[in-house]
């Protein structure tokens, strides 16, 4: 989850929560809640983290599912529906893509409840 990757990035850079939160323009309390996965970061926070720490956005968003080049490894065949969805997704703005990802994560969380 994103919280674990945020904590991992902060610790890798040997920063405390106050130092890290100041760099990405959120409060220390907000950062603490993000690291605990109480909620997902805003698009602005995600972009700040990616920019400030020069990290691969795909890794940050998807974690170990992405390889070193940021390409997501997909198991199984990609069918016509998958291909169509990927092409349509790529045409969206980054903000719209993040919104779609949030919706998918919400649906998957509901499915697992």
What tens digit of pLDDT does each residue of 86-101 get?
A: 888 889 898 998 999 8
Tally of domains in the chain: 2
Residues 27 and 82 in one domain: no
Q: Indicate which CATH number applies to the domain containing 18.
A: 1.10.260.40
What integer pLDDT is reported at residue 64 of this predicted model?
Answer: 63
pLDDT of residue 83: 76
Kindly report the CA angle at 5 between 44 and 68, in degrees rounded to 5?
Answer: 100
What are the tens digits of pLDDT across the range 39-57?
999 999 999 999 998 888 8
- Tell whether 12 and 58 lie within a shared domain: yes
For residue 106, pLDDT beyond 60: yes
The answer to whether residues 8 and 56 belong to one domain is yes
Whole-structure pTM value: 0.58
pLDDT at 30 over 80: yes
CA distances (Å), origin 93, targets 63, 89, 98, 102: 21, 9, 9, 14
The answer on 79 and 58 residing in a single domain is no
């Amino acid at each position: 989850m994103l919280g674990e990757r945020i904590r991992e990035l902060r610790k890798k850079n040997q920063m405390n929560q106050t130092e890290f939160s100041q760099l990405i323009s959120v409060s220390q309390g907000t950062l603490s809640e993000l690291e605990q996965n109480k909620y997902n970061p805003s698009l602005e926070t995600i972009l700040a983290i990616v920019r400030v720490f020069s990290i691969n956005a795909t890794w940050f968003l998807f974690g170990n599912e992405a390889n070193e080049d940021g390409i997501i490894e997909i198991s199984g065949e990609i069918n016509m529906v998958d291909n169509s969805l990927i092409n349509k997704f790529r045409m969206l703005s980054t903000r719209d893509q993040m919104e779609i990802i949030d919706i998918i994560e919400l649906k998957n969380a509901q499915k697992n409840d």
